[in-house]
Amino acid sequence: MAIGKTSTNVPVLRWGFLGAGNIATDFANDLIKAPQYHKHQHALVAVATQNSRERAAAFAERYKNENSSPKAYGSYEELLQDNNVDIVYISNHHPQHYGTVKLALHAGKGVLCEKPLTINYPESLELVKLAREKKVFFAEGFWIRFFPIVKKAQQLLHEERVCGKNLRLFIDFCQDSKFRELPKDSRMLNVSLGAGVLLDMGVYPLTWSQVLLFDDPINQKNDPTVSSNALTFTDHNGDVGDYSTAVTLVFPKSQAIAVLCTSMDRDPVTQDFLRIDGDSGAQLIISGKCFRPQILTLKRPDGKSETMDFSFDATGFFYEQDAVFEYIMNDLNEASEIPHAETLRMMRLTDQIRHQLKISYPADIQFTTN
């Protein structure tokens, strides 16, 4: 893939945004307004919403500076014809990801798409095949996989074995969405639009379980057994979604277990959202938010503690953004932090959990009837 150059011949990755909501704002703030955290140069050159040039223009106006003046488009198709766009960042709602990513890949653009990549495994598999056919960069934007704190936790657990073996992982991810107070037509309450805590939030605890337990060399990439249950709501169409979900993963090969709880009806009672221990008697604690971890604490059996501070005053997308720059500069079409095979494995896992919970989406019917 080609990459742009500044007037002084410095490589710059030129981003086009498909979507202009809250997540796109956070991503753009890190991309444009946090240069102190970047190793490489980035530019926002174009923004599109599907039906409103005015919304796109208002978004673009916020990121104009002496180095860039993003163009605003009233449709995704228009932006995808812009030859100044090296890669598109897709941040619309996840039921729309499948169709939007297909448009971008067919246009020959590199793609970073917010998680979850799609509603289900068949959609994701089709997109991965298309990206490989088009030979362009394509990744699910699971940003925490790029965080140094995650890589440090893996080092402590997998290389130094600070907690020993027979690991037990406990994660509690809560965030009060006030979903009972939302209007009935809210996306958060409309199952046909992907509502439900598993895909909105639960993919974060699942990801932690994968990077800490599945990726443990002792596990040898063996899939866990899965048991799940949930508290549910019924939307105005009579469809069932989950609002508080518990998942237990057992890894027989490494004799490890993960107990994961995700709820959107309350706020957390502690910032220590993750605890993991093993047969050494030590405990590793990660604090902050499940999607934005900040502090890692190692409590040793002798009572001594070591605290490692990974905090920053931006959102945290800059790690992922710089990594994408490097992959494209090196003509690589997937990210080692979240390779295509890992995205597909995670989609199979969420499909398996939804099957146990008896939760389905319109996209599931599409792939079982075609």
Q: Provide the CATH number for the domain around residue 65.
A: 3.40.50.720
Output the pLDDT for position 328: 96
The helix/strand/coil state of 250 is strand
Output the pLDDT for position 5: 72
pLDDT above 80: residue 66: no
Block residue for tokens 């100044």:
84
Output the pLDDT for position 310: 97
Please check whether residues 136 and 152 belong to one and the same domain. no
Minimum mean pLDDT among 11-25, 158-172, 305-319, 354-368: which range?
354-368
pLDDT above 60: residue 164: yes
Output the pLDDT for position 289: 96
Output the pLDDT for position 338: 97
Output the pLDDT for position 369: 43
Specify if 340 maps to a domain. no
Output the pLDDT for position 85: 96
What percent of the chain has a predicted confidence (pLDDT) above 90? 88
Please check whether residues 54 and 88 belong to one and the same domain. yes
Mean pLDDT of the chain: 94
pLDDT category of residue 7 using cuts at 50, 70 and 90: low
Output the pLDDT for position 108: 96
Please check whether residues 130 and 155 belong to one and the same domain. no
pLDDT above 80: residue 121: yes
Mean pLDDT, residues 77-104? 96
Strand 71-73 vs strand 41-48: parallel, antiparallel, or unpaired? parallel
Q: Given CA atoms 113, 293, 317, 153 in this order, what sign does their dihedral have?
A: negative
Please check whether residues 135 and 167 belong to one and the same domain. no
**DSSP per residue over 111-169, as a string?**
EEEESS-SSSHHHHHHHHHHHHHHT--EEEE-GGGG-HHHHHHHIIIIIS-TT-SS-EE
Output the pLDDT for position 54: 93
pLDDT above 80: residue 253: yes
List, as own/partner pairs, every contact residues 53-60 make where C-beta atoms lie below 8 angstroms and the sequence separation is at least 24, other chains included.
55/20, 56/20, 58/20, 59/17, 59/20, 59/24, 59/25, 59/28
Output the pLDDT for position 68: 78
pLDDT above 60: residue 368: no
Block residue for tokens 């990755």:
13
pLDDT category of residue 192 using cuts at 50, 70 and 90: confident
Output the pLDDT for position 366: 65
Domain count for the chain, please give it: 2
Specify if 361 maps to a domain. no
Please check whether residues 76 and 91 belong to one and the same domain. yes
The helix/strand/coil state of 279 is coil
Please check whether residues 156 and 305 belong to one and the same domain. yes
What percent of the chain has a predicted confidence (pLDDT) above 70? 97
Please check whether residues 28 and 163 belong to one and the same domain. no
Please check whether residues 158 and 78 belong to one and the same domain. no
Where do the DSSP E strands lie in the chain? 4-5, 11-18, 41-48, 71-73, 87-90, 110-114, 138-141, 168-174, 225-234, 240-251, 256-263, 272-277, 283-289, 292-299, 305-309
Please check whether residues 302 and 165 belong to one and the same domain. yes
The DSSP element (H or E) to which 83 belongs, if any, is none
Mean pLDDT, residues 97-110? 97
pLDDT category of residue 65 using cuts at 50, 70 and 90: confident
Please check whether residues 302 and 162 belong to one and the same domain. yes
pLDDT category of residue 193 using cuts at 50, 70 and 90: confident
Please check whether residues 25 and 92 belong to one and the same domain. yes
* Domain span including residue 116: 4-142+319-333
